[in-house]
Amino acid sequence: MKEMETAQLLKGTPKLPKENGPILVIQLGDIGDVVLTLPTIGALGSAFPKRSLVLCVREHARELMEDCPRVHHVLSVNKQRRKFKAELDHQLQFFRALRGHRCDLAIELRTGTRGAVIALLSGARTRIARYANDGTLWRNRLFTHLVRPTRENIQYAAQHNLNIMAPFGLVETDPRPTILVPERRRRKAEALFLKTRIPQDRPLVAVHPFSLWKYKEWRLSEMAALLDRIQSEYNCNLVITGAPNERKRAKDLIGICNRKPYNLAGETSIGELPAVFEACSLFIGVDTAALHIAAAVGIPTLGIFGPSSWTNWAPRGHDHLVVEKGLPCQPCSQKGCDGSEKSRCLTELTAQEVHTMMEGILDATLVKKPKVH
Query: Mean pLDDT, consecutive 10-residue segments, the chain of 373 residues?
Result: 66 92 97 97 93 97 96 92 87 94 97 96 97 93 96 93 94 91 97 94 96 94 98 96 96 96 96 98 97 98 96 95 96 91 95 96 92 67
183-365: what fold?
A: Rossmann fold (3.40.50)
**Quick one: pLDDT at residue 220?**
96
**Quick one: pLDDT at residue 1?**
36
**Quick one: pLDDT at residue 258?**
95
**Quick one: pLDDT at residue 178?**
97
Q: For the residues of 89-146, what is the DSSP string, one character each?
A: HHHHHHHHHHHHT--SEEEE-S--HHHHHHHHHTT-SEEEEE--TT-TTTTGGG-SEE
Domain ranges of the chain: 2-168, 183-365
**Quick one: pLDDT at residue 5?**
60
User: Burial, 232: exposed, middle or buried (Cβ in 10 Å; 0-12, 13-18, 19+)?
Assistant: exposed
The reported pTM is 0.94
Residue 368: strand, helix, or coil: strand
Q: Decide whether 2-168 matches 183-365 in CATH topology.
A: yes
What's the rounded Cα separation, in Å, for the pair 216 and 343? 7
What's the rounded Cα separation, in Å, for the pair 42 and 179? 11
Own/partner pairs for 75-83, CB < 8 Å, 24+ apart? 77/28, 77/114, 77/118
Strands 53-58 vs 301-304: parallel, antiparallel or unpaired: unpaired
What's the rounded Cα separation, in Å, for the pair 196 and 263? 8
CATH code for the structural domain at 2-168: 3.40.50.2000
What's the rounded Cα separation, in Å, for the pair 155 and 312? 6
What's the rounded Cα separation, in Å, for the pair 42 and 26? 15
